Structure 1
Amino acid sequence: LSVFFQWYTPDACLQLKERFHGQVSTTCQRKNTGTVGLRHSKVVVVGDLYVGKTSLIHRFCKNVFDRDYKATIGVDFEIERFEIAGIPYSLQIWDTAGQEKFKCIASAYYRGAQVIITAFDLTDMQTLEHTRQWLEDALRENEPGSCFVFLVGTKKDLLSGAACAQAEVEAVRLANEMQAEYWSVSAKTGENVKAFFSRVAALAFEQSVLQDSERRSSARLQVGDGDLIR
């Protein structure tokens, strides 16, 4: 990725800017990104059973769509590698079970997330309402304000243009309540899937670079006498 991927709709997005933070661009040009290229950023995907979480992840990571449904047992994950502004970067994408009986197992894997993706089925608006609880559960395991939140409507291919637009009105409203960025996707056709995860990667990468730069700047100061550590 050499560009800062744009939002799906300006009505519900995390950042409206069109390019990487100036400090990030400079740091990448100088290849001075510290340990950013050596770490995985954790992405957790949550949502009801049958909404298509696994299909979404497989479409992006493997470019496949499996029509035969298999429920995720507990948790699973994929690692997707990028090169962003010339710097290697990886997302560790965790696929969590939507079944109630696996919630206790899955919740242990919510911790340390940099990104939380709450998925729902555009053809079943009850699953949209359930995203409130899924997000609450995931946020409970993380520090306040530490995660990017995305609300994703799946199975876009199953709705007509008018029906999709109506569903999106409700989804955008809820996304704003959640302080989340909204996307509509189709794992079956691949529509918006690559763009969505590229957007996730761009935002997570930028945050990682800025946080790493801040940590290294702080580490240069000797506690006590203020001398620089060489």
Structure 2
Amino acid sequence: MQLKKDWDVQAKVACKDRAARHQPWDRQKMSKVVVVGDLNVGKTCLINRFCKNVFERDYKATIGVDFEIERFEISGIPFSLQIWDTAGQEKFKCIASAYYRGAHVIITVFDMADIKSLDHTRQWLQEAMRENEPDTCLIFLVGTKNDLLPPEERERTEKDAIRLATEMHAEFWAVSAKTGENVQGFFFRVAALSFEKCILKDMETGIPASIGRGDGIMSDYAKLDEATSQDTKKGCC
């Protein structure tokens, strides 16, 4: 997995302890991920590339909401991402907003070939945060379709996106669902950070943080001690 190297010491110790004791409630550990952004920026393609390793050229707009569940095993502990794909059409906003609640991660998506969609990410983030408590969500800004831009234009767009990500207190990633560039690394990063946050929250409250069942399916593996150079993906949702 794409892992940060500065794992919280307390989280590392807690994971090793839980792995040794095989606590049954660990199987319910899950983070809710909400993906928002304009119509046709590539939200569904991004999710499908990671969860199903497919890219569909024929675009079909998401109606309302949809979701996928991707399962991992991190430091011997089963962990899942429940990834909610929300519609970018105005008429579905009232429906989609109901699913923003309880998010642990908010991914705001824009089309790198359409600079207007980058400007709109502020509003999408504001709408998602209205349904959540301040400072409770990990925030990511993702630029899709980076394969469509020539190098100079891509560099300019990335600079604009990085400035905006700083304002949003978000982490910026440029990806391509078509080529698969950075897609797996991005979602592994999301899993690593949200997993650590779950562990730290458990330690703080003494109550396991979960939103549903995560039956153990051997899928993606990671160790908290070291970042592996090879990504192993044996199955998906």
TM-score of the superposed pair, with normalisation by structure 1: 0.86
- Segments of 4+ in structure 1 off by > 6 A? none
Contact 2:50 2:183 (C-alpha < 8 Å) held by counterparts: yes
Shift of 1:37: 3.5
User: 1:151-230 alignment to 2 at 5 Å?
Assistant: 151-216=141-206
**Alignment partner of 2:11 out of 19, 24, 30:** 24
Amino acid at match of 2:33: V
Residue 5 of structure 1 corresponds to 3
Q: CA–CA distance in 2 between the matches of 1:119 and 1:39? A: 26
State the SS of the aligned residue for 2:33: strand
Shift of 1:36: 4.2
Q: Distance in 2 between matches of 1:95 and 1:207?
A: 22
> Does structure 2 conserve the Cα–Cα contact (< 8 Å) formed by 1:36 and 1:212?
no
| Alignment match, 2:59 | 69
Letter in 2 for 1:19: D
> Match of 1:82, SS?
strand
Match of 2:42 in 1: 52
Equivalent residues, number: 204
Question: Which residue in 1 is equivalent to 2:116?
Answer: 126
1:30 match: secondary structure: helix
| Partner residue of 1:100 out of 90, 97, 113 | 90
Q: Contact 2:107/2:140 (CA < 8 Å) preserved in 1?
A: yes
Amino acid corresponding to residue 26 of structure 1 in structure 2: V
Preserved CA contact (<8 Å) 1:36 1:208? no
Q: Distance in 1 between matches of 2:16 and 2:202?
A: 15
Compare relative contact order (CA 8 Å, sep 6+) and give the higher one, 1 or 2: 2
Give 1:149's match in structure 2, choosing from 139, 146, 150.
139
Contact 2:29 2:78 survives alignment (8 Å): no
Going from structure 1 to structure 2, the CA distance change for 1:204 and 1:36 (only over 3 Å counts) comes to farther
CA, structure 1 residues 127+74, in 2 after alignment: closer, same or farther (shift >3 Å)? same
Identity of aligned residues (%): 64
One-letter code of the match for 1:48?
D
- Name the SS of the counterpart of 1:41 in structure 2: strand
- Tell me the distance in 1 between the aligned counterparts of 2:99 and 2:117: 22
2:102 corresponds to which of 109, 112, 115? 112
Distance 1:170 1:71 in 2: 27
TM superposition shift of 1:75: 0.1
**Separation in structure 2 between the aligned mates of residue 29 and residue 137 of structure 1, nearest angstrom:** 38
Unaligned runs of 5+ in 2: 208-237
User: Which is higher, the Rg of structure 1 or of structure 2?
Assistant: 1
Residue 19 of structure 1, CA deviation: 2.8
Q: Secondary structure at the match of 2:55?
A: coil
8 Å contact from structure 1 (residues 71, 97) kept in 2: yes
Secondary structure of 2:194's partner?
helix
Question: Using the alignment, how far apart are the partners of 1:185 and 1:103 within structure 2?
Answer: 25
Letter in 2 for 1:70: K
Deviations 1:119-151 (A, max 9, x none): 000000000000010000000000010000000
Query: Given that residues 3 and 189 in structure 2 are in contact (C-alpha distance below 8 angstroms), is that contact kept between their aligned partners in structure 1?
Result: yes
| Secondary structure class of the residue paired with 1:31 | helix
Aligned partners of 1:5 and 1:55: how far apart in 2?
A: 23
